[in-house]
Amino acid sequence: MFLYEKLATDLYDLEVEINKPADFDEFWNKTKEIAKEKLEFSLEEVAYPLKARVFKVTLLGYGDTKIYGWYLLPLNETKKYPLGLFFHGYRGYASSPSSFANYLLNDFAVLAFDLRGQVGASGDGGYGGGHVPGWITQGLDNPYDSYYQRLIVDALRMVDLAVSLPEVDAKRIMVKGGSQGGGLSLATAALSDDVSLCIAGVPNMCYTEYGVLHSSSSLREIMEYLKLYPEKAPAFFNTLSYFDNVNLAPLIKCPVLVSVGMQDPVCLPKTVFAAYNRIQAPKEICVYPFSSHDGGGELFQKTAMEFAIKHLNP
């Protein structure tokens, strides 16, 4: 056996201990109640050079913040479709309708939003206290005032929106994303009984405390803040533990596909396996020994499509 073939050998048995707050279940019950308080959205069909029906969608997210995105439908109007809800990576946006053409060609409906406050059009604001450039340190000393809670409330409302759409088969809802989007996919699958399938490429939000100490990317924002205010570390890491997929993964009930790049300095292999190993639902992981944060790139995207078709039968 070559050395590269052994890179993940020990990680399949990895078990980590992280803080799980005493009110973890209470927090999530309250958060899910917030998500269910309202479902308000609007759709506007627009012209777009794509053989699909294209809608601009506006959803009221946490705190009545307007969240903007796309709703896309194949042209066949004689059936109900499985739907893919796509979450983008950190500092990203929902991209263009043509980015999802491969799913439309395979008879999936698509929802994709600009996540709050990031590069796209969706807004955010109104946190107590300061933060370093970026979004994830906003409100991080209080789980009930954190960016992460707002992000997940938005995601749960996106699932509720998907279920309500008349063209969509509510029993075939998939969540999919990479990096931040992969972590959000795992968390949404854990917290919503309406998610039927989860595809998480190189997921963030996994073994987050370790990531803060070792990652080379977005979690460095937390490190930069704590350089200035080290006394806030206990509160920050306590808040992060509510949203860590190591704690959320056991709640997932649907099939899950995960990817990991063994050279990834952003979503480190140890963090991905820490959460993956806690999933009790049917699961598969694609290990790419030579990949970094691309998590297998097009090789994984092909596998993801095959996984989606196998389970959701479009």
Predicted confidence band at 1 (pLDDT cuts at 50, 70, 90)?
confident
Residues noted as catalytic: 179, 264, 293
pLDDT at 295: 96
| pLDDT tens digits along 93-110 | 999 999 999 999 999 999
Q: Residue range 222-233: average pLDDT?
A: 95
| pLDDT tens digits along 13-46 | 999 999 999 999 999 999 999 999 999 999 999 9
Q: Residue range 254-283: average pLDDT?
A: 98
Q: How many domains are there within the chain? A: 1
| pLDDT tens digits along 37-95 | 999 999 999 999 999 999 999 999 999 999 999 999 999 777 899 999 999 999 999 99
Strands (E), the chain: 41-46, 53-60, 66-73, 81-87, 109-113, 168-178, 197-201, 256-261, 283-288
Is the pLDDT at 158 greater than 80, yes or no?
yes
Q: By percentage, how much of the chain surpasses pLDDT 70?
A: 100
The crossing angle, in degrees rounded to 10, of helices 147-164 and 24-35 is 50
Give the chain's mean pLDDT: 96
Query: Distance from first CA to last CA of the chain, Å, rounded?
Result: 40
Q: By percentage, how much of the chain surpasses pLDDT 90?
A: 91
Predicted confidence band at 217 (pLDDT cuts at 50, 70, 90)?
confident
pLDDT at 146: 96
79 vs 225 pLDDT, higher one = 225
**Hey, how many other C-beta atoms are within 10 angstroms of the C-beta on 142?**
14
pLDDT at 228: 94
Q: Residue range 186-203: average pLDDT?
A: 98
Is the pLDDT at 314 greater than 80, yes or no?
no
Is the CB of residue 30 less than 8 Å from the CB of residue 21? Answer: no
pLDDT at 125: 85
Residue 271, CA distances (Å) to 41, 54, 162, 232 in order? 36, 37, 30, 23
pLDDT at 54: 98
Supply the DSSP string of 77-92, one letter for each residue: -SS-EEEEEEEPPTT-
CA atoms within 13 A of residue 93's CA, in its CB half-sphere:
14
In terms of residue numbers, what domain contains 84?
A: 3-312
49 vs 126 pLDDT, higher one = 49
Return the CATH number at 291.
Answer: 3.40.50.1820
